[in-house]
Amino acid sequence: MADSDSVVSGATATGTDQDDPIADLTFEQLGQFVEDTERVNAVIKSETEMFEKYLRRVEPKETNVVVQSQFTSPLPQTHEIQMTRGNRKKSKSRTSAADKLLQLAAEQKCDIAQRELEELRDDIEKLKDDSERILDNYRANIEEAELKIQEIKKAYYEFDRDICKGSVNPRTNKVIAEKVLRYYEDKLRSRDTLIEKLRLKNSTLRVQKKKLQLQLKQKEEMGEVLHEVDFNQLKIENQQYQEKIEEKNQELLRLKLMAGNTLQVLNQEKKKLHKLTNDSKQLQSDMLSRNDSLQKLQAETVIVEEERNVAERSNKFQRQKLSDYKVPEVQDYVRKKASLMELRKTVKSWERKVEIAQMALNTHKKSWKLLTTAKTRTNDWMPHEFMVQN
């Protein structure tokens, strides 16, 4: 809209200043001017179409035709006036006056666009409802067809089971006619019972329909029937309740998030509590072990105290002996040392003598052993009578 007004105002300004502004333009400027005019014409065309739709819906048909002719006639006139070179000032003054008369204000254009948008939304909703109704009909037809197919399959299976396989004479390999007739009679009888059930159901539904119609008439007579205003009120209340439900859902979602957070915190606290309980159990076991070790240490301390008392008593006794001890004289020490040296010498001499005696004993043992072995050999060699005489 702003582009169209700017282009038209620019064209009118150049037309008032110069007689032939197009002659001084280059090819690029002419192409740009043509594109701008085409874009402006497209915008004006869409606006006129929208305004025509609005007038067709609001005004009667006769006024629509008149207004349409009045509204659409200046467009080609302005185009012809712009393309002609003669009488430019007069034609532009006329077109500007016609545009001023025919142009709508911005608020009016917004109002028309808003109403058209609402109508378009209503049309979309109607199309949605119609399409849903058509889809429901198609779904119902599909379900009915599926039910019929199932019934046909069931009838085919039963006919094949009862007639084609179950009623064949094993001697002649032909179908028994009596069983076929009985089968069709049973089918017709079941169909008649089904028809009777459906007829009764239809009659009960008709009675319910009459009752509902009577109730509706009574409500209409008493003024309890809902009108369009009531429906609008109900729509408004429904919208309010939907908003409240949305708020409650948001609050429920928030509470769920809070519950989730609290659950996470609870799980963390449970983990901490479990860890602390394990630590407390470990500490209790450590305390028990420490108490046992403490009791053992106390018993050991009692024993150590007793030993310490014994050691103190022995220490006191030894200190008492040490305090009562008198150091001998030096001459006694020298005599004792000399006697010790003499004793050591005698011990060494006796040890030497013992070694010599041991060596002599070993030599005597060896000689004795040799004598005993030689004597045993001579006794074995000499005759028995000689030995007896001897």
155 assigned to some structural domain: yes
Whether the CB-CB separation of 25 and 33 falls below 8 Å is answered with yes
Q: How many whole angstroms separate alpha carbon 57 and alpha carbon 116?
A: 10
Residues 26 and 74 in one domain: yes
pLDDT exceeds 70 at position 60: no
Q: How many domains does the chain have?
A: 3
Q: What is the model's pLDDT at position 379?
A: 65
Lowest mean pLDDT among 12-26, 90-104, 187-201, 246-260: 90-104
206-263, pLDDT tens digit by residue? 999 999 888 888 877 776 555 667 777 888 888 899 899 999 989 998 998 899 889 9
308-366, pLDDT tens digit by residue? 999 999 988 888 888 876 767 788 888 888 999 999 999 999 999 999 999 999 999 99
First to last CA, the chain: 174
Q: How many whole angstroms separate alpha carbon 331 and alpha carbon 291?
A: 64
31 assigned to some structural domain: yes
Helix (H/G/I), strand (E/B), else coil: 226:
coil
Residues 99 and 151 in one domain: no
150 assigned to some structural domain: yes
Residues 7 and 98 in one domain: yes
Q: Which residues contact 39 (CB under 8 A, 6 or more apart)?
A: 3, 4
Interhelix angle 74-83/88-102, rounded to 10 degrees, is 150
pLDDT exceeds 90 at position 28: no
Residues 22 and 95 in one domain: yes
State whether the Cα torsion 269-272-278-279 is positive or negative: negative
210 assigned to some structural domain: yes
Q: What is the model's pLDDT at position 388?
A: 45
Listed residues 87, 103, 119: the one ending a domain? 103
Mean pLDDT of the chain: 78
Residues 6 and 81 in one domain: yes
Q: What is the model's pLDDT at position 225?
A: 56
Side-chain-facing half-sphere of 147: CA atoms under 13 Å: 6
Lowest mean pLDDT among 19-28, 116-125, 173-182, 302-311: 19-28
- Residue 267, amino acid: N
Residues 35 and 97 in one domain: yes
251 assigned to some structural domain: no
Q: What is the model's pLDDT at position 117?
A: 83
Residues 92 and 144 in one domain: no
Listed residues 191, 221, 251: the one ending a domain? 221
Q: What is the model's pLDDT at position 90?
A: 43
Which run of H or E residues covers position 359?
Answer: helix 330-381
Boundaries of domain holding 352? 334-385
Listed residues 179, 197, 221: the one ending a domain? 221
170 assigned to some structural domain: yes
Other C-beta atoms closer than 10 Å to the C-beta of 182 total: 14
Give 175's strand partners: 168
Q: What is the model's pLDDT at position 345?
A: 93
Comparing 172 with 307, the larger pLDDT belongs to 307
362 assigned to some structural domain: yes
Residues 18 and 84 in one domain: yes
257 assigned to some structural domain: no
Structure tokens at 341: 């040296």
pTM of the predicted structure, to 2 decimals:
0.34
Residues 32 and 99 in one domain: yes
DSSP 300-357: HHHHHHHHHHHHHHHHHHHHHHHHH--PPPHHHHHHHHHHHHHHHHHHHHHHHHHHHH
